[in-house]
Homo-oligomer: A and B are copies of this chain.
Amino acid sequence: MKRTVIIGSGNLAEALARAIDRSSLQLVQIFSRNARRAEEVARLSHTAAESDPARLADADIYIIAVSDRAIAEVAASLPLPPSAVVAHTSGSTPLEALPDHMRRAVFYPLQTYTKGREVDFGKIPIFIEAESEELRNTLRDYALHLSDKVIFADSATRGELHLAAVMVCNFTNQMYALGEEIAARSGLGFEVLKPLIEETTAKALAAASPRDVQTGPAVRGDLATQERHCKLLEQEPLTLNIYKLISQSIWETSKKI
């Protein structure tokens, strides 16, 4: 199983297309209703673009990399050959979102994708799901062309993983945004926080568990400093509540160790 069509032209579609292009797999087409973006992704991954369903290319596997909402409709409306594998790429969508007459599967590479940023696909864990052992194994062999870390996960596990991903990615990024906002009140730019952000992440990644390297007033139980911080947030009730709850969460996590 090598001949691949990617359906979709968003950031994940782009990253995946580039990774397939660099692998020993065969990328035969980027299919997207957005003809302009399909062309762009196809150009970056040295393949053909198509937006007319009647000209969907023949392939062994169709990877549906569209928004969660659109998965079911896209799968149902395209003339997909019944012998092909059809996989969606969503962390939070069950396998069952795909029609059950298909050789349906999930292919979820856990990463955050940004237009124009190349990611090293070889380091990304790919979570796969399929209903038969035969298809699971076929899909695993396929995914191993792209990454060393291929992991079977059912829809429930993938749902939890997606939640964990939101925490360490979107919520972390919001902590950066709140830090930037607070620094800006003193006329300081995001720049001054960057060395701290870099080291915080490097430290956590080097640790067996992030719990082992927690620092600051919350884990020390330093209530005087916490009170001073809360006073600074008096005018920002939402951020104040976030401050209090995360401080409490840090304190409770430290007790579990």
Structural contact, A112 and B186, CB atoms closer than 8 A: no
Quick one: given A125-B192, A228-B159, are A112 and B200 in contact (CB under 8 Å)?
Answer: yes
Structural contact, A252 and B228, CB atoms closer than 8 A: no
Name the interface size band of chain A.
Answer: 35 or more
List the B side residues contacting A205 at CB < 8 Å.
194, 197-198
Shortest beta-carbon distance, A116 to chain B, in Å?
10
Other than the known A168-B193, A175-B175, what 10 A-B pairs have Cβ atoms closer than 8 Å? A110-B192, A112-B203, A161-B182, A167-B176, A167-B243, A173-B210, A174-B214, A177-B210, A238-B245, A241-B245
Majority DSSP secondary structure for residues of A touching B: helix
Taken together as a complex, chains A and B put the C-alpha atoms of A68 and B226 apart, in Å, by 13
Residues of A within 8 A of B (CB): 68-69, 92, 110-114, 117, 119-120, 123-125, 149, 151, 153, 156-157, 159-183, 185-186, 188, 190, 192-201, 203-206, 208-211, 213-219, 222, 224-225, 228-229, 232-233, 238-239, 241-243, 245-246, 248-250, 252-253
How often does this chain occur in the complex, in copies?
2
Taken together as a complex, chains A and B put the C-alpha atoms of A246 and B242 apart, in Å, by 7
Taken together as a complex, chains A and B put the C-alpha atoms of A205 and B195 apart, in Å, by 9
